[in-house]
Amino acid sequence: MRTVAVMNYKGGVGKTTLTANLGAEIAGRGHRVLLLDLDPQANLTFSFYSVDEWRESLRKDSTIMRWYEGDMPGREVDLHDLVVTPPQVNQVIEPSGGRLDLIPSHLKLIDIDLRLAAKLGGTTLGESKRKFLELHGCLARALKADVFEEYDLVLIDCAPNFGLVTKTAIVASDWVLVPAKADYLSTLGIEYLAGNCDELVGEYNDYVGHRGGPMQSDDSIQPRFLGVVFTMIRMYANKPISTQQNYIEEVRLNSRIPVLNGIMRDSPRHFGDAGERGIPAVLRAPIDDEVVVEFRKLAQEIVGSVGGDQRA
């Protein structure tokens, strides 16, 4: 099983659209994919379920908020018990032999960071380190359960912040994928994100193996960057417009995170009605549609990059 965290500090960069379509495309190739929605906006969840369906069937007992609640994440409910299988998209995927599952989010997940932060600290340095490892590693330990071995890929849609919930996703991930618009604000935080990942990984690995803690020496983490994916690209003559191309080249030249060749263009016709049909555009539009062709190439590049060695 491969686990990829999809994140950017800046909201509105097409992060959820990328995650939903990427998961659907890979599942449509015959793979078993699990989507984990850690964004309190729950847009990934609403890409596959209507708001009414969420309220009636998911809100009370079947969201990731239940897992993070309580004395310690995972003590009151097993993570796998929250997995649902969205029916509309899986009707399309089923002939391929693949499957797309989801662990839904909840709008109140935004409050969980403060609750988790309150559990950190301790009367001794040893106790503080133990709590740090236990909290930050909770999702990683849950995803190591045998029941998750059936999945080929887990995509985690992170909130646009670096709070504790997002940190649990980084610790649990093998790779980090960074969607970004080709503009000043969206690219500004890319290096800051890389630095924060470095600090988190360094601190976590320093604490691993601490006597009395829940981790062993072989539980150190080493997430790697798959790269930056530029999204919402406006095209002219089959190329990004010049102002966006300048930002792409600037990041390509100056960032230590690699920039993927594939892009996700701005297409309200394809991506503007996410959630209304429960089927992402990549499975809904004709296979020879230029947007679908581009996205399939991007998905292939991401799948191929999984074996790379770009360190976070």
Structure confidence at residue 128 (pLDDT): 85
Task: Please give the helix or strand (H or E) that residue 218 lies within, else none.
Answer: none
Q: What is the DSSP string of 18-47?
A: HHHHHHHHHHTTT-EEEEEE--TT-TTGGG
User: Strand 235-236 to strand 239-240: parallel, antiparallel, or no bridges (unpaired)?
Assistant: antiparallel
Which residues form the domain of 148?
Answer: 2-305
The full length of the chain comes to 312
In a domain, 118, yes or no: yes
Task: Please give the helix or strand (H or E) that residue 277 lies within, else none.
Answer: none
Structure confidence at residue 211 (pLDDT): 46
> What is the pTM (predicted TM-score) of this model?
0.92
Q: Which long-range contacts link 127-133 to residues 24+ away (Cβ below 8 Å)?
A: 129/207, 129/210, 129/213, 130/210, 130/212, 130/213, 130/214, 132/203, 132/204, 132/207, 133/204, 133/207, 133/208, 133/210, 133/213, 133/214, 133/215
Euclidean distance between CA atoms 35 and 157, whole angstroms: 7
Structure confidence at residue 68 (pLDDT): 94
Number of domains the chain is built from: 1
In a domain, 284, yes or no: yes
In a domain, 311, yes or no: no
| 263-306 pLDDT, tens digit each | 998 877 777 665 567 899 899 888 888 888 989 999 999 998 87
In a domain, 188, yes or no: yes
Q: Mapping DSSP to helix (H, G, I), strand (E, B) and coil, where does residue 261 land?
A: strand
Structure confidence at residue 23 (pLDDT): 96
Average pLDDT per consecutive 10 residues, the chain (312 residues; last block may be shorter): 91 90 95 97 94 92 92 90 96 96 94 87 80 93 95 96 95 96 86 93 86 57 94 88 92 92 83 71 87 91 72 47
Lookup result for tokens 């993570």 = 79
Euclidean distance between CA atoms 265 and 271, whole angstroms: 10
C-alpha distances (whole Å) from 231 to each of 95, 157, 307 are: 30, 15, 23
In a domain, 310, yes or no: no
- β-sheet bridge partners, residue 159: none
Q: Mapping DSSP to helix (H, G, I), strand (E, B) and coil, where does residue 189 land?
A: coil
Provide the CATH number for the domain around residue 114. Answer: 3.40.50.300
- β-sheet bridge partners, residue 35: 102, 155
Structure confidence at residue 218 (pLDDT): 63
In a domain, 312, yes or no: no
In a domain, 102, yes or no: yes
